[in-house]
């Protein structure tokens, strides 16, 4: 529903800064009116891929974007709105994408609570995706790397992950670092709320 994700509005600019050899996509965000413990903020700010990334060896990979895997939100809600043209290794791609996911309804609260349960990995995944040329409609997008933020660690440390860099690992070899990504995950208030509610329910039931 429109309540689930506060999507960006207005003032969209896309340009290439030749002086820095950086590829930039900028987007201004609408301000949230929701309570902090009812939303999770997820952002993808910058991406740098190094020479070990397979995207540079594949002529069928023309652009890159990032898709976030969080709860049961559809991919189109949590992917950068634009794919940016593939540059040289160590080019900085600036997406400046940030959105807020509502966790007010009971199904979302349940999923959020399950994210930090013992049997869960606790991982929120940021997947780097390569897009084929527009004149090759038969080709599919390819996942080329993944970075993760662990919600369990954020809850344990009581610290959100704001504009911090994380390693991007190859899909075929998840010990090989193929880049870095600067991201935001603001989730601790929402996790505190659902874990408190879960503890209260268990006390009542016992």
pLDDT mean over 144-166: 97
178 phi/psi in degrees, rounded to 5: -110, 5
Residue count of the chain, please give it: 206
Report helix, strand or coil for 192.
helix
Residue 51 structure tokens:
């020479």
Q: Does the pLDDT of residue 80 top 60, yes or no?
A: yes
Q: Could you give the maximum distance between any two Cα atoms of the chain, in Å?
A: 65
The domain spans of the chain are: 5-205
Gap between the Cα atoms of 195 and 173, Å rounded: 35
Q: Report, as an integer, the average pLDDT of 57-82.
A: 95
For residue 21, which of 82, 89, 96 has the smallest C-alpha distance?
89
Q: Is 28 helix (H, G, I), strand (E, B) or coil?
A: coil
**What percentage of the chain exceeds 90 in pLDDT?**
74
- pLDDT by residue (tens digit) across 49-66? 999 999 999 999 999 999
CATH 3.40.50.720 fits 5-205, yes or no: no
What pTM, to 2 d.p., does this model score? 0.82
**β partners of residue 16:** 23
Q: Which of 61, 43, 60 is nearest to 182 (CA)?
A: 43
Mind listing the pLDDT tens digit for each residue in 88-108? 999 999 999 999 999 999 999
In tens, the pLDDT along 105-141 reads: 999 999 999 999 999 999 999 999 999 999 998 999 9
Handedness of CA 97, 103, 107, 113 (dihedral sign): positive
Q: What is the pLDDT of residue 137?
A: 87
């Amino acid at each position: 529903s429109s309540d689930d994700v506060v999507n960006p509005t207005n003032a969209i600019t896309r340009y290439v800064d030749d002086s820095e050899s950086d590829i930039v996509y900028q987007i201004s965000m609408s301000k949230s009116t929701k309570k902090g413990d009812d939303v999770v903020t997820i952002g993808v700010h910058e991406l740098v891929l190094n020479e070990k990334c397979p995207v540079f060896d594949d002529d069928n990979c023309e652009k890159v974007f990032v898709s976030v895997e969080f709860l049961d939100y559809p991919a189109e809600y949590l992917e950068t709105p634009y794919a940016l043209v593939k540059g040289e290794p160590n080019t900085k791609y600036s997406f400046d994408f940030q959105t807020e996911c509502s966790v007010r309804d009971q199904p979302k609260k349940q999923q959020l609570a399950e994210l930090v349960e013992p049997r869960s990995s606790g991982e929120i995944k940021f997947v780097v995706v390569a897009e084929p040329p527009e004149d090759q409609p038969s080709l599919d997008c390819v996942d080329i790397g993944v970075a993760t933020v662990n919600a369990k660690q954020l809850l344990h440390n009581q610290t959100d992950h704001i504009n911090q860099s994380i390693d991007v690992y190859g899909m075929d070899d998840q010990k090989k670092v193929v880049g870095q990504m600067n991201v935001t995950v603001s989730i601790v208030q929402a996790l505190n709320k659902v874990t408190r509610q879960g503890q209260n329910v268990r006390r009542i039931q016992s």
